[in-house]
Structure 1
Amino acid sequence: MSAQGDCEFLVKRARELVSEDPWAAKAWLITARTLYPADFNIQYEMYTIERNAERTASAGRLLYDMFVNFPEQPAVWREITVITQALRSDCQDKHAQFLRGLFETLPGRVQCEMLLKATEQCFNTLEKAEMLLLLLRRFPESVVQHGVSLGETLLDAETIEDLESPVNCFRKLFVCDVLPLIINNPDMRLPANLLYKYMHKAAEFYIGYVTRGPSADSPLQGSQEGGVGLKSPGALRGSQRYVIDGLTEKSSLVPEPWERLLEILAIVGARCEWKGDKGSRSYVEILQRMKELCRYLPSLEGETLSCCRSQVVTCTTLALFHSAYLYVSAVQPMLFQAHNTPGAVPWILLEDLCCAYSEAELERSSKHVHKKRKLGDGREKTMSSDDEDSSGKGRGRHILVSKADMPGWADMLDSFRTARESWDLLHSHEALETGGFL
Structure 2
Amino acid sequence: MADESSSWLIQRSRECLSVGDNDGADAWIFTATSLYPHSFPVQHEVLHTQMKAGQIAQAALQLANMLQRFNNKKELWQDVHSMLTAVSSEANDATSERWRYLFGALDSDVQQEMLRSCAEQCEDDVLSQCQLFIQLMKLFPGTVLEFGLETVKLLSRCSSHRLLCQKMLVNEALPLLLSSCHCQALLSRVPVDEIVFWLYKALFYCSQNCSECLISTAASDFMKTDLMSPTLTSPSTPRRSSIANRVKPENVLRDSWLMLLRLVQSIGLFLRWNIPSELCNSALLLSERVAVLKSLPKSHPAYFHVSFVLLLESLAKYRAALHMNSANESPLVMVSSIAESESQHGSEVQTLAVLGGTEGGKKVISDLFRCAVLCWDAVHSDKTLKTDFVNLRKKWSSADWEMIDSFEVDCWLYKRNFSQVVAYLQSLGEGDSLAATMARLKQASCLAKMGNLAKSCELAMSVLLSVLDEMHISVGDELPDSELADFTNSADVLLLPFDAVYVVPYCVAIAAEHYKSIAFEVERNDIALSHLMVLCQYDWPNMHQLFLQVMKRVKDNRGLIFESFFKYIRDIDMLEEMMWLSNTDTCQLCLLPSSSQRQRTVTRGVDKESKEELRDAFENQAKYAEDKFISTLYLFVQDTVRKP
Q: TM-score, normalised by structure 2?
A: 0.44
Q: In the TM superposition, what are the counterparts of 1:181-192 in structure 2 within 5 Å?
A: 181-188=176-183, 189-190=186-187, 191=190, 192=192
CA apart distance, 1:90: 0.5
CA apart distance, 1:316: 4.0
CA apart distance, 1:202: 1.6
| Amino acid of the structure 2 residue aligned with 1:263 | R
Which residue number corresponds to residue 332 of structure 2? 345
Contact 2:86–2:99, Cα closer than 8 Å, also in 1: yes
Which residue number corresponds to residue 275 of structure 1? 274
Contact 2:268–2:275, Cα closer than 8 Å, also in 1: no
Q: Are 1:50 and 2:50 counterparts?
A: yes
Tell me: CA distance 1:329–1:50, structure 2 relative to 1, closer, same or farther (3 Å): closer
Which residue number corresponds to residue 314 of structure 1? 305
CA distance, structure 2, for counterparts of residue 143 and residue 90 of structure 1: 25
CA distance, structure 2, for counterparts of residue 24 and residue 63 of structure 1: 22
CA distance, structure 2, for counterparts of residue 43 and residue 26 of structure 1: 13
Secondary structure class of the residue paired with 2:302: helix
Contact 1:60–1:106, Cα closer than 8 Å, also in 2: yes
Secondary structure class of the residue paired with 1:91: coil
Tell me: CA distance 1:339–1:120, structure 2 relative to 1, closer, same or farther (3 Å): farther
Stretch of structure 1 that moved more, 23-32 or 178-187? 23-32
Which residue number corresponds to residue 344 of structure 2? 355
Instruction: List alignment gaps of at least 5 residues for structure 1.
Output: 214-247, 295-307, 358-398
CA distance, structure 2, for counterparts of residue 412 and residue 32 of structure 1: 72
Structure 1 runs of 4+ aligned residues shifted over 6 Å read 250-253, 337-340, 432-438
Tell me: CA distance 1:207–1:27, structure 2 relative to 1, closer, same or farther (3 Å): same
Bigger Rg, which one: 2
> Higher relative contact order by CA 8 Å / sep ≥ 6: 1 or 2?
1
Post-superposition Cα deviations, 1:60-112, rounded to whole Å, max 9, x if no partner, equal: 11112111101112221232222122112112344322221111221111111
CA distance, structure 2, for counterparts of residue 410 and residue 51 of structure 1: 56
CA distance, structure 1, for counterparts of residue 142 and residue 172 of structure 2: 16
Post-superposition Cα deviations, 1:389-425, rounded to whole Å, max 9, x if no partner, equal: xxxxxxxxxx9x994638445664464245324422x
CA distance, structure 2, for counterparts of residue 405 and residue 172 of structure 1: 37
RMSD: 4.2
Q: TM-score, normalised by structure 1?
A: 0.62
Tell me: CA distance 1:422–1:34, structure 2 relative to 1, closer, same or farther (3 Å): same
Q: 2:165 aligns with which of 166, 170, 182?
A: 170
Q: In the TM superposition, what are the counterparts of 1:122-141 in structure 2 within 5 Å?
A: 122=122, 124-141=125-142
Contact 2:156–2:198, Cα closer than 8 Å, also in 1: no
Which residue number corresponds to residue 38 of structure 2? 38
Q: In the TM superposition, what are the counterparts of 1:249-264 in structure 2 within 5 Å?
A: 255-256=253-254, 257-264=256-263
Q: 1:405 aligns with which of 345, 355, 359?
A: 355
CA apart distance, 1:27: 3.6
Which residue number corresponds to residue 144 of structure 1? 145
CA apart distance, 1:181: 0.9
CA distance, structure 2, for counterparts of residue 146 and residue 322 of structure 1: 31
Contact 1:319–1:419, Cα closer than 8 Å, also in 2: no
Tell me: CA distance 1:80–1:422, structure 2 relative to 1, closer, same or farther (3 Å): closer
| Amino acid of the structure 2 residue aligned with 1:152 | K
CA distance, structure 2, for counterparts of residue 68 and residue 338 of structure 1: 56
Tell me: CA distance 1:76–1:347, structure 2 relative to 1, closer, same or farther (3 Å): same
CA distance, structure 2, for counterparts of residue 61 and residue 202 of structure 1: 43
Tell me: CA distance 1:182–1:421, structure 2 relative to 1, closer, same or farther (3 Å): closer
Tell me: CA distance 1:112–1:24, structure 2 relative to 1, closer, same or farther (3 Å): same
CA distance, structure 2, for counterparts of residue 86 and residue 275 of structure 1: 42
CA distance, structure 1, for counterparts of residue 302 and residue 148 of structure 2: 25
Tell me: CA distance 1:142–1:338, structure 2 relative to 1, closer, same or farther (3 Å): farther
Secondary structure class of the residue paired with 1:347: strand
Secondary structure class of the residue paired with 2:106: coil
CA distance, structure 1, for counterparts of residue 319 and residue 118 of structure 2: 45
Post-superposition Cα deviations, 1:329-363, rounded to whole Å, max 9, x if no partner, equal: 59xx86xx79965513211469x772379xxxxxx
Contact 2:144–2:176, Cα closer than 8 Å, also in 1: yes
| Amino acid of the structure 1 residue aligned with 2:129 | K
Post-superposition Cα deviations, 1:263-301, rounded to whole Å, max 9, x if no partner, equal: 22222223333236335255423423422x74xxxxxxx
Post-superposition Cα deviations, 1:31-80, rounded to whole Å, max 9, x if no partner, equal: 44344432222222222321221221111111121111011122212322
Tell me: CA distance 1:283–1:43, structure 2 relative to 1, closer, same or farther (3 Å): same
CA distance, structure 1, for counterparts of residue 28 and residue 63 of structure 2: 19
CA apart distance, 1:261: 2.0
Contact 1:126–1:170, Cα closer than 8 Å, also in 2: yes
Which residue number corresponds to residue 86 of structure 1? 86
Contact 2:311–2:376, Cα closer than 8 Å, also in 1: yes
Contact 2:269–2:275, Cα closer than 8 Å, also in 1: no
Secondary structure class of the residue paired with 2:296: helix
Question: Aligned residues, how many?
Answer: 332
Instruction: List alignment gaps of at least 5 residues for structure 2.
Output: 214-243, 282-287, 357-361, 393-644
Tell me: CA distance 1:276–1:43, structure 2 relative to 1, closer, same or farther (3 Å): closer
Which residue number corresponds to residue 373 of structure 2? 416
